[in-house]
């Protein structure tokens, strides 16, 4: 491994903790918390929780991605990188970019549209049901009758899809970097 200098044990531990924190947070928020909540609370409670949780999640992910990239970059100068380290550096960078897109653009847009849809749904007596499967007819009827709601639903789907894609790409990058780090524990 080409390095500018050998990192201290403290730096190694910090790097591994931050990378593990990112990965664990991504697993919990992406694959556990959302699926558990959507089956246990009303639709509008779920949207309220998401609107409060996601900004914290995206900015925490942004910060931890920045720290991971910075630590890796300090001990892996560009001029000394081999092919594998270049790929790893690119993965850290992509994770940072996707977290930034979600923190600054996609996340706030999804939340804004979700809360606008919530207001319309409340006016029509929807949103108090638990789970996504109930009241499908009511939502379909609302979408059919209200062009503004239909446009909001389309916009929500677009930005939610882009946010989910960024989140998945960031998760894959973090997972790959965590695996690489685990396979090379004597280095970072």
Alpha carbon distance 31, 25 (integer Å): 10
Q: What pLDDT score does 102 carry?
A: 97
Alpha carbon distance 60, 67 (integer Å): 11
Q: Does residue 3 sit within a domain?
A: no
Q: Does residue 4 sit within a domain?
A: no
Between the alpha carbon of residue 124 and those of residues 73, 129, 170, the distances in Å are 53, 13, 37
* Cβ count within 10 A of residue 110: 25
Q: Does residue 112 sit within a domain?
A: yes
Is 2's pLDDT higher than 50?
A: no
Between the alpha carbon of residue 149 and those of residues 45, 49, 65, 134, the distances in Å are 19, 21, 36, 19
Q: What pLDDT score does 154 carry?
A: 96
* Number of domains, the chain: 1
Q: Does residue 1 sit within a domain?
A: no
Q: Does residue 95 sit within a domain?
A: yes
Mean pLDDT score, 3-20: 85
Question: Token pair of 61, please?
Answer: 């992910």
User: 96-151: per-residue pLDDT in tens?
Assistant: 999 999 999 999 999 999 999 999 999 988 888 887 667 778 888 888 998 999 99
Is 187's pLDDT higher than 70?
A: no
Q: Does residue 2 sit within a domain?
A: no
Question: Token pair of 22, please?
Answer: 């990112």
Total-model pTM: 0.89
Q: What pLDDT score does 138 carry?
A: 85
List the domain range (segments joined by +) for residue 163: 9-183
Q: Are 66 and 96 in contact (CB under 8 A)?
A: yes
């Amino acid at each position: 491994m080409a390095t500018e200098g050998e990192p201290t044990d403290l730096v190694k531990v910090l790097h591994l903790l931050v990378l593990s924190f990112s990965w664990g947070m991504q697993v919990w928020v992406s694959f556990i918390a959302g699926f558990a909540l959507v089956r246990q609370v009303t639709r509008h409670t779920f949207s309220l929780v998401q609107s409060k949780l996601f900004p914290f999640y995206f900015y925490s992910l942004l910060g931890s991605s920045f720290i991971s990239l910075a630590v890796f970059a300090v001990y892996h100068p560009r001029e000394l990188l081999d092919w594998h380290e270049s790929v790893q550096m690119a993965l850290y960078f992509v994770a940072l970019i996707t977290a930034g897109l979600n923190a600054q653009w996609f996340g706030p847009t999804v939340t804004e549209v979700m809360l606008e849809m919530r207001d319309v749904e409340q006016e029509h007596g929807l949103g108090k049901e638990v789970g996504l499967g109930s009241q499908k007819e009511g939502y379909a009827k609302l979408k059919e009758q209200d062009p503004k709601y239909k446009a909001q639903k389309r916009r929500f789907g677009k930005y939610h899809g882009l946010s989910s894609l960024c989140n998945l790409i960031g998760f894959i990058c973090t997972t790959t970097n965590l695996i690489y780090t685990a396979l090379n524990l004597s280095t970072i």
